[in-house]
Amino acid sequence: MSEYDFNNFDDFDSGLAVADPAEAETEAPTATNEAASTQVLVVDTDSAVRDYLTGLIPQGAETVEYLTDAEIRLASGSYLVLLGPSCSNPESLDRIEAWAQAYPRSQSILVTPELTTQLLHKALRVGVKDVVSAPIDQDQLLETIERIIESIPAETPAFAAGSTGLDDGEPDMMGRVISVFSTKGGSGKSVTATNLAVALAKRSDGPVVLVDGHLQFGDVAVMLKLFADSSVADAISQLDVLDRVMLRDLMTEHADSGLLVLPAPTEPTFADQVSGEQMAQLIDVLRKMSAHVIIDLPAIFNDVVLNTIEASDDIILVAGLDIPNIKNVKIGLSTLALLDVPKERLHLLLNRADSKVKLDVSEVERSLGVDTVAHVPSDVVVPISVNRGSPVVLSAPRSSVARAFEQLAARFVDNKAPGAASQSQGRRKFFG
Ligand SMILES: Nc1ncnc2c1ncn2[C@@H]1O[C@H](COP(=O)(O)OP(=O)(O)OP(=O)(O)O)[C@@H](O)[C@H]1O
Ligand SMILES: [Mg+2]
């Protein structure tokens, strides 16, 4: 007899931490990953659960009862491990934490009958790539498996997770960290992040840094027409030795605004070598030397995104004004609530707010219960500016889109971040 009510597995659906399907569609396989040789391995002490999960995988899966048996396989190959409910206890998760270091060619997904805040937190912290809760949607599970397999790097991670700090006697600025997020791909996050960052760079006395947190397929560099030598991955690989001068060298300056940019790595498989903890450390270093740090995020909940959101003073949630967008924002908000992100840090940006497919804006704001910081209209100046690689605030400064982004930037300059006391004394240009 199964430890869980096995019949309930029949109507499993996707869990909260599953990637946005739109995102999965855009993430094409890369030539250098381990996809071809990666196999699925199901781990659970309950044979009925093992059979059920294996039955969901058309190409078949190997099965083992215990994590120790799994580890024997992980030592010799590349696996996507489907961890059954028997693996969600604290001892098992502690054991799984060592896998990232020990078996970098494998990744895992946790299947749980019930998702709690604690379990989601813990699982993502120990390196589980996704958590899928009852009821399971087979298509979405398969998409998630495929996406994670495609991202497994061929090489062993070479990045250090050392301590960071800028103990060079310079005063810390403790700049405001603003991340731009959405649970829907293509909603306008990168357009928002680049325009906000450039508008802030024009207004701010201190350095403003834009980090492309969409590590796999970021396009911040393209939107700013930058040809960068270094990326977020380079900064992270040198975390424990970074000083201000090195960091400045790694960033590419946007000549028209003075904005400093850390773009996404050009090789998408590097994304998997960056942990959430390392991203949080990088943000910590950057905020010490900047007036503002803006981070453009992908439409997905993973370890890097969660750590970035937790390290942010403000999270701008970008949403379009159609039903799927609003539905996605609602899902995103409930996940962020599960993760205990304070509501006052969340700000809604309604993009293409005047589109033909109209919803009542005030109705949407009321239903989401989040304060709206900007209404950005739909305007052809946006795709034109994206194609030119020049943000609207520079290429079409009189447009209503540019005005919306300028007003948004003004809010963040006038309304200082918590803990910004050291900013006023320390605010000056650190970067030449
Ligand atoms: N206000 C707007 N008016 C017209 N077009 C817009 C507007 N905002 C965004 N777009 C168009 O939508 C496209 C997608 O925007 P963007 O790349 O910023 O989305 P994203 O959320 O960052 O996507 P991804 O999830 O892939 O990172 C842009 O290329 C742009 O042309
Ligand atoms: Mg983007």
Both 224 and 344 in a single domain? yes
Is the distance from the beta carbon of residue 186 to the nearest atom of ligand 1 less than 6 Å?
Answer: yes
pLDDT over threshold 50, residue 352: yes
Q: What is d(CA 276, CA 94) in angstroms, rounded to the nearest whole number?
A: 17
In a domain, 90, yes or no: yes
Both 283 and 203 in a single domain? yes
- CA-nearest of 35, 374, 364, 423 to 193 is 374
Give the Å distance between the CA of 265 and the centre of ligand 2: 14
Both 145 and 183 in a single domain? no
Per-residue pLDDT band for 199 (boundaries 50, 70, 90) equals: very high
Both 108 and 192 in a single domain? no
In a domain, 246, yes or no: yes
In a domain, 428, yes or no: no
In this prediction, residue 347 carries a pLDDT of: 92
Domain-terminating residue out of 99, 133, 150: 150
Q: Which domain holds residue 111?
A: 8-150
In a domain, 116, yes or no: yes
Give me the helix-helix angle, 400-414 and 381-388, nearest 10°.
80
In a domain, 163, yes or no: no
- Mean pLDDT throughout 343-347? 89
- Mean pLDDT throughout 187-205? 95
In this prediction, residue 301 carries a pLDDT of: 83
CATH number, domain containing residue 192: 3.40.50.300
In this prediction, residue 342 carries a pLDDT of: 87
pLDDT over threshold 70, residue 175: yes
Both 285 and 216 in a single domain? yes
Atom of ligand 1 nearest to the CA of 22: 25
Domain count, the chain: 2
In this prediction, residue 172 carries a pLDDT of: 67
280-334 per-position pLDDT tens digit: 999 999 999 899 999 999 998 888 998 999 999 999 999 887 777 788 888 888 8
Q: What is the DSSP string of 62-102?
A: EEESSHHHHHHHHTTS-EEEEE-GGG-SHHHHHHHHTHHHH
Cβ neighbors of 375 (< 8 A, separation 6 or more) are 349, 350, 353, 354, 361, 404
Residue owning tokens 């399907």: 21
Q: State the average pLDDT for the chain.
A: 81
Across 287-400, the runs of DSSP E, i.e. the strands, are: 292-296, 314-320, 346-351, 372-376
Q: What percent of the chain has pLDDT over 70?
A: 81
Give the Å distance between the CA of 403 and the centre of ligand 1: 17
pLDDT over threshold 60, residue 428: no
The protein residue with its alpha carbon nearest to ligand 1, atom 29, reads 383
Which two three-digit tokens encode residue 389? 């690689």
In a domain, 160, yes or no: no
Is the distance from the beta carbon of residue 182 to the nearest atom of ligand 1 less than 6 Å?
Answer: yes
More confident residue, 250 or 151: 250
**In whole angstroms, how large is the CA radius of gyration of the chain?**
22
| Cβ neighbours of 73 (radius 10 Å) | 18
Both 143 and 195 in a single domain? no
Per-residue pLDDT band for 73 (boundaries 50, 70, 90) equals: confident
Residue type, 424: S
The protein residue with its alpha carbon nearest to ligand 1, atom 18, reads 188
Domain-terminating residue out of 150, 165, 191: 150
- Mean pLDDT throughout 175-201? 95
Both 138 and 266 in a single domain? no
Half-sphere exposure of 65 (CA within 13 A, CB side): 3
In this prediction, residue 87 carries a pLDDT of: 94
Which two three-digit tokens encode residue 49? 């659960």
The protein residue with its alpha carbon nearest to ligand 1, atom 31, reads 383
Both 134 and 196 in a single domain? no
In a domain, 187, yes or no: yes
Both 251 and 368 in a single domain? yes
Per-residue pLDDT band for 5 (boundaries 50, 70, 90) equals: very low
Both 216 and 327 in a single domain? yes
Both 114 and 245 in a single domain? no
pLDDT over threshold 80, residue 36: no
pLDDT over threshold 60, residue 155: no
In a domain, 227, yes or no: yes
Cross-strand pairs, 39:
79
Residue 51 CA, chain-centre distance (Å), reads: 33
Going by the DSSP 8-state scheme, the letter that residue 420 receives in this structure is T
Q: Is the entire prediction scored with pTM above 0.75?
A: no
Is the distance from the beta carbon of residue 196 to the nearest atom of ligand 1 less than 6 Å?
Answer: no
Atom of ligand 1 nearest to the CA of 214: 27
Both 349 and 247 in a single domain? yes
Query: 17-21, 120-124, 305-309, 398-402 — which is least confidently predicted?
Result: 17-21
383-427 per-position pLDDT tens digit: 999 999 999 999 999 999 999 999 999 999 865 543 332 333 332
CATH number, domain containing residue 96: 3.40.50.2300
Is the distance from the beta carbon of residue 401 to the nearest atom of ligand 1 less than 6 Å?
Answer: yes
